[in-house]
């Protein structure tokens, strides 16, 4: 069996396991966050690493591509397809609920003529709204009204947990043909004009994470103003909402002014005004708070008029929502006051806002951290006798859990490996079938869920080392593990095959992204700090085998300062790497390179397109989205070049494998002695660099040393 195909089987098997367990699991932790970062934007990369560490987001959930597009049609054709492809390739469909965009993203997508509105034309979608509507994009392209219902919302005080795999109708999970799926999209921060500074965004992340589960005493302030255009869409709901919050043990206040003043307990400000002097109110906005002011240009950062939602973040709020263009003031377009009821019940910030938004969020930008769980109760999960030695076959996991939430207990559990669901049930022990996974190091996590409607969860984290085939990988730092953006980090990477066929490639990987690669089983590989991004990153060695299995080493933590340093002035370097495509209808392909100057603008040019796959029109960064032909077979090659102000790179190569690796001559799923004999007998391009030369002989010799450990000439 090809492991290029087996990785996708795991995701399908996981869906069957969840169905057998009879449950739909809640969102609400770092495992549910998808981070999208622009790999050519140093600020975006820094915040991505920072947020990933703060929220303990699994490596598989970090995606690298430019989040924006020229218009919504291009966004659907490329960005949403790239998102879908990467989530499927990594097998994390069960966990992906929140799409969080880093600074460096545009705050809107041009979308004229798609949404009708008799009051004010809709020409823009917020970037968060564009990702939220991923599953209804076809309907949007066909034309909808601005009051297109959000089917997760319902005008009730009962919270329903959010899950992107669930279809909702009238606010409840449903199999109705009109039910819809969604993501919760959010923009963590914007550092362009009238946005927030980088430090303000990082500070907000720190405040938000620290606020989780604190359930502070404080007051939700609902402010009715004399500005009827901005206040009237929701101020008639304030009294009922306050009564509900008070019935839950909280405190609310119906204010008849623009903002609370001289108050030190602000958990929320919902007001209606175009211009506010927020610092002048002399109020203390508590960590984890929400605030907005329902105005026309609150998130229209390219318009100097009116107060921006970034001002709320600057003053201490965790999240806000604002319009990216002039909206008609239909109440359904804006955050309903009942969102704070859900928030006070323990739902996440993002769930609370989305549950209370009656219309699809075309123009509203959700800004800040959507994952803050200010009023939730923590769940503690422990695992008895977790696996410590290399495992094979079936591994049993026996968790226990507890919660402080009154009247609730931890009822069921889930085990994920590399954030892919392996088992989920209330009957214990859980089991991981390691034969469905690759050899080597894996991230092991166990979730415990309580019995509340919020489905609060806790996470235990460890590691799982698998040895079913005798394959392993090792990584050692040569140059040290700290530096700045211009530092070149050097690693020795190697793999042991264990008699099951030699590796065909060894590479460096960050968050499931190939950074550098070499043919064979061992190499010294380099990557620059700017490519990793500032902050902390976990780097692995990864060995690729001819059956598609990817075997990883334990990670090495690398820390990069957000300083430019002194670039070396060299031209970019490129690599030859392999992508196992299998029978996928689309493949996301990274093109690895080495370059150390964060201030230089790079261009990435495809020299030779693959013969059996089309390149989907889209961004031209260090990646491409490919669509293989229906009859693609064997292997294919795509070549590329990277250009900087210092000059051009050599030509890099990406080998695309559809059903059999080119070194697997006898098609037995392994690169072994029989293949080596065949290549040695008839000189061939053994290292797949496009040339038959002495380098192929050296490749064969190196393969023998760390693969089968025998000499071809002895036969």
* Mean pLDDT value of segment 491-519: 90
Rounded to whole angstroms, the Cα distance separating 276 from 349 reads: 23
The answer to whether 507 and 499 are in contact (CB under 8 A) is: no
Half-sphere exposure of 242 toward its Cβ, with a 13 Å CA cutoff? 20
Of the pLDDT bands very low, low, confident and very high (cuts 50, 70, 90), residue 698 is confident
Residue 339 has pLDDT above 70, yes or no: yes
Give the per-residue pLDDT at 706: 62
* Mean pLDDT value of segment 273-299: 96
* Mean pLDDT value of segment 691-696: 83
Of the pLDDT bands very low, low, confident and very high (cuts 50, 70, 90), residue 7 is very low
Rounded to whole angstroms, the Cα distance separating 68 from 190 reads: 13
| Interaxial angle between packed helices 673-681 and 694-706, expressed in degrees from 0 to 180 and rounded to the nearest 10 | 160
Give the per-residue pLDDT at 12: 34
Mean pLDDT, all residues of the chain: 92
Strands 576-580 and 652-657: parallel
Give the per-residue pLDDT at 17: 33
Return the CATH number of the domain spanning residue range 472-657. Answer: 2.60.40.10
More confident residue, 8 or 406: 406
Residues of the chain with CATH 2.60.40.10: 379-466, 472-657
Give the per-residue pLDDT at 11: 34
Q: Copy the structure tokens of residue 310.
A: 């970034």
Half-sphere exposure of 85 toward its Cβ, with a 13 Å CA cutoff? 25
* Coil, helix or strand at residue 567: coil
At 392-449, the pLDDT tens digits run 999 999 999 999 999 999 999 999 999 999 999 999 999 999 999 999 999 999 999 9
Q: Note if the bond before 429 is cis, omega within 30 degrees.
A: yes
Domain 379-466 sits in which CATH superfamily?
Answer: Immunoglobulins (2.60.40.10)
Per DSSP, 426 falls in state S
At 551-586, the pLDDT tens digits run 999 999 999 999 999 999 999 999 999 999 999 999
Helix H or strand E encompassing 400:
strand 394-403
Main-chain phi, psi angles of 90, to 5 degrees:
-90, -5
At 110-124, the pLDDT tens digits run 999 999 998 889 999
CB pairs under 8 A, 24+ apart, for 614-619? 616/77, 616/78, 616/81, 616/586, 617/74, 617/77, 617/78, 618/69, 618/74, 618/77, 618/78, 618/79, 618/82, 619/65, 619/66, 619/78
Rounded to whole angstroms, the Cα distance separating 376 from 380 reads: 13
Give the per-residue pLDDT at 27: 45
* Coil, helix or strand at residue 195: coil
The answer to whether 295 and 322 are in contact (CB under 8 A) is: yes
The answer to whether 65 and 620 are in contact (CB under 8 A) is: no
Whether pTM exceeds 0.85: yes
Main-chain phi, psi angles of 231, to 5 degrees:
-95, -40
Rounded to whole angstroms, the Cα distance separating 64 from 57 reads: 14
Beta strands in 107-187 (DSSP E): 108-110, 115-116, 124-126, 144-145, 168-169, 172-173, 184-187
Q: What is the DSSP string of 578-619?
A: EEE-TT-S-EEEE--EE---TTSPPEEEEEE--TTEEEPS--
More confident residue, 688 or 198: 198
* Coil, helix or strand at residue 493: strand
Of the pLDDT bands very low, low, confident and very high (cuts 50, 70, 90), residue 314 is very high
Residue 456 has pLDDT above 80, yes or no: yes
At 90-147, the pLDDT tens digits run 999 999 999 999 999 999 999 999 999 988 899 999 999 999 999 999 999 999 999 9
Instruction: List for the chain the helix, strand, coil content (%; round to 5).
Output: 25, 30, 45
Residue 658 has pLDDT above 60, yes or no: yes
Give the per-residue pLDDT at 358: 96
Per DSSP, 300 falls in state -
């Amino acid at each position: 069996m090809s492991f290029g195909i087996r990785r996708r089987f795991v995701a399908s098997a996981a869906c069957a396991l969840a169905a057998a367990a009879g449950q739909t699991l809640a969102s609400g932790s770092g495992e549910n966050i998808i981070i999208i970062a622009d790999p050519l934007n140093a600020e975006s990369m820094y915040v991505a690493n920072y947020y990933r560490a703060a929220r303990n987001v699994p490596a598989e959930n970090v995606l690298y591509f430019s989040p924006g597009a020229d218009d919504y049609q291009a966004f659907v054709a490329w960005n949403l397809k790239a998102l879908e492809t990467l989530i499927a390739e990594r097998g994390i469909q069960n966990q992906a609920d929140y799409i969080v965009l880093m600074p460096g993203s545009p705050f809107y997508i041009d979308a004229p003529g798609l949404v009708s509105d008799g009051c004010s034309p809709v020409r823009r979608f917020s970037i968060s709204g564009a990702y939220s509507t991923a599953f209804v994009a076809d309907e949007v392209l066909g034309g909808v009204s601005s009051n297109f219902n959000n089917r997760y919302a319902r005008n009730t005080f009962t919270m329903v947990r959010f899950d992107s795999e669930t279809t909702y109708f009238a606010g409840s999970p449903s199999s109705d043909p009109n039910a819809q799926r969604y993501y919760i999209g959010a923009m963590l921060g914007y550092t362009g004009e009238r946005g927030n500074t980088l430090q303000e965004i990082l500070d907000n992340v720190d405040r938000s994470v620290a606020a989780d589960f604190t359930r502070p005493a404080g007051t939700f302030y609902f402010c009715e103003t004399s500005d009827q255009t901005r206040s009237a869409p929701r101020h008639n709901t304030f009294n009922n909402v306050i009564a509900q919050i008070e019935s839950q043990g909280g405190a609310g206040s119906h204010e008849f002014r623009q903002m609370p003043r001289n108050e030190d307990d602000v958990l929320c400000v919902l007001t209606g005004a175009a211009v506010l002097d927020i610092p002048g109110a002399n109020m203390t906005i508590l960590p984890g708070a929400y605030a907005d002011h329902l105005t026309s240009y609150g998130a229209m950062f390219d318009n100097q008029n009116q107060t921006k939602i970034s001002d709320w973040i600057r003053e201490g709020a965790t999240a806000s929502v604002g319009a990216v263009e002039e909206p008609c003031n239909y109440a359904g377009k804006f955050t309903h006051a009942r969102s704070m009821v859900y928030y006070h019940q323990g739902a996440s910030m993002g769930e609370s806002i989305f549950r209370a938004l009656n219309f699809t969020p075309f123009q509203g930008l959700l800004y800040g951290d959507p994952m803050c769980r200010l009023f939730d109760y923590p769940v503690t999960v422990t695992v008895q006798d977790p696996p410590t030695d290399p495992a094979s076959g079936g591994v049993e996991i026996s968790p226990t859990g507890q919660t402080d939430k009154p009247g609730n207990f931890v009822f069921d559990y889930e085990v994920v490996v590399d954030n892919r669901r392996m088992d989920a049930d209330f009957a214990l022990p859980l089991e991981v079938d390691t034969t469905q996974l690759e050899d080597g190091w894996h991230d092991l996590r166990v979730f415990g869920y309580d019995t509340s409607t919020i489905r609060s969860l806790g996470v235990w984290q460890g590691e799982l080392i698998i040895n079913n085939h005798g394959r392993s990988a090792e990584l050692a730092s040569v140059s040290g593990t700290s530096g700045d953006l211009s530092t070149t980090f050097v690693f020795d990477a190697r793999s042991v095959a264990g008699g099951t066929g030699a590796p065909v490639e060894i590479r460096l990987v960050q968050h499931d992204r190939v950074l550098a690669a070499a043919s064979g089983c061992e190499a010294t590989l380099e990557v620059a700090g700017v490519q990793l991004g500032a902050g902390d990153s976990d780097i692995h060695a990864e060995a690729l085998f001819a059956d598609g299995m990817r075997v990883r080493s334990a990670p090495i933590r690398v820390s990069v300062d957000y300083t430019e340093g002194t670039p070396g002035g060299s031209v970019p370097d490129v690599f030859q790497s392999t992508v196992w495509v299998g029978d996928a209808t689309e493949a996301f392909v990274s093109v690895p390179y080495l370059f150390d100057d964060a201030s230089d603008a790079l261009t990435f040019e495809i020299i030779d397109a693959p013969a059996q796959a089309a390149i989907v029109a889209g961004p031209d960064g260090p990646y491409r989205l490919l669509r293989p032909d229906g009859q693609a077979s064997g292997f294919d090659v795509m070549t590329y070049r990277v250009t900087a102000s210092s000059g051009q790179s050599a030509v890099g190569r990406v080998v695309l494998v559809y059903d059999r690796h080119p070194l697997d001559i006898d098609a037995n799923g392994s690169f072994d002695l029989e293949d080596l004999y065949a290549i040695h007998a008839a000189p061939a391009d053994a290292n797949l660099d496009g040339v038959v030369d002495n380098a192929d002989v050296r490749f064969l010799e190196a393969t023998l040393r760390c693969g089968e450990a025998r000499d071809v000439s002895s036969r």
